[in-house]
Amino acid sequence: MAKDSLIGGSIWEAYSQKVQDLMNNPQNMGQLTEEDAARLGGKLIIADFGAESCGDAVRLYWIVDEATEIIKDAKFKSFGCGTAIASSDTMAELCIGKTVSEAVKITNIDVEKAMRDDVDTPAVPPQKMHCSVMAYDVIKAAAASFKGVDAASFEDDIIVCECARVSLGTIKEVIKINNLKTVEEITNYTKAGAFCKSCIKPGGHEEREYYLVDILRDTRAEMEHDHLLAISNSKIDGTNTVSFEELTVVKKLKEIEAVIDENIRPMLIMDGGNLEILDIKEVEGGAIDVYIRYLGACNGCASSSSGTLFAIEAVLQEKLSKNIRVLPI
């Protein structure tokens, strides 16, 4: 299989092993028939959903016990990319054993998280997050078919981007989890604003109640307020004694990213380069190894393994912990 190259590595590094396995060997792909429904003592439900924006489509099969509304089996057919197959397979697996009312609460975020190899590392690159949105929508279609109602009746959140079916709650959650700072990053992670663009800011062909620029501004303000409140509370109750070494891996990563964004990344970008953090590992002896990958002009630069590397490590040691070691890959 040919591998498309990204700067500094393979494109497959952006996909979890679970996603790669499901692309090639989906566990729930296929179809269910009336004979299967009779054998399991349930009702056959078939629902379709297609994403006009990217051309992908998925068909979902359920066998539902009409008395308990429990989904006894689920299969799918996907007409799209490998990520759509993996997302649809995960979605079908999440449905099995749940009631229809429980299944409609499965979100695209739930699907993506279920495909992760570890809880802190996204399963797919941000530009592929919209595939899990399609899985989220076909569940609503199947539930609507079973209950004889409109799929819109299951929406318990405001839809900001109609094209990608992304809700206000999802956008705010993604901003907070990934510390997003630009509308472009929101689009990369959710596909909101990628198509007709009416939801990005006022002035598009369709007037909206919520715009990404406003959601980003308000959510960032909320995050800053929560951060300042946490600092204030820690000073009052004396809990501000937690060292960098005592933080969780996720919090360590956020602290390192913040220092790099403020002190290191601007310098690299000025010279046409950049870097990304690949992993953080705690090793024997108390060292905290930070694995990075250089991007752009920094990749292959002679000083990337000497002067630049020493400067990055010195800043992180000064700002966060003397135990940090920076290792380029």
Q: Which residues are catalytic?
A: 54, 131
* CA angle (30, 35, 38) in 5-degree steps: 120
Q: What is the DSSP code string of 152-187? A: GGG--S-EEETTTTEEHHHHHHHHHHHT--SHHHHH
State the DSSP code for 70: B
Token pair, residue 265, equals 């990344």
Q: Which of 41, 58, 149, 157 is closest to 100 using CA atoms?
A: 149
d(CA 158, CA 165): 10
Query: What single letter denotes the amino acid at residue 211?
Result: Y
Cα 255 to the center of its chain, rounded Å: 20
The residue whose two tokens read 């990344």 is 265
How far apart CA 43 and CA 69 sit, in angstroms, is: 10
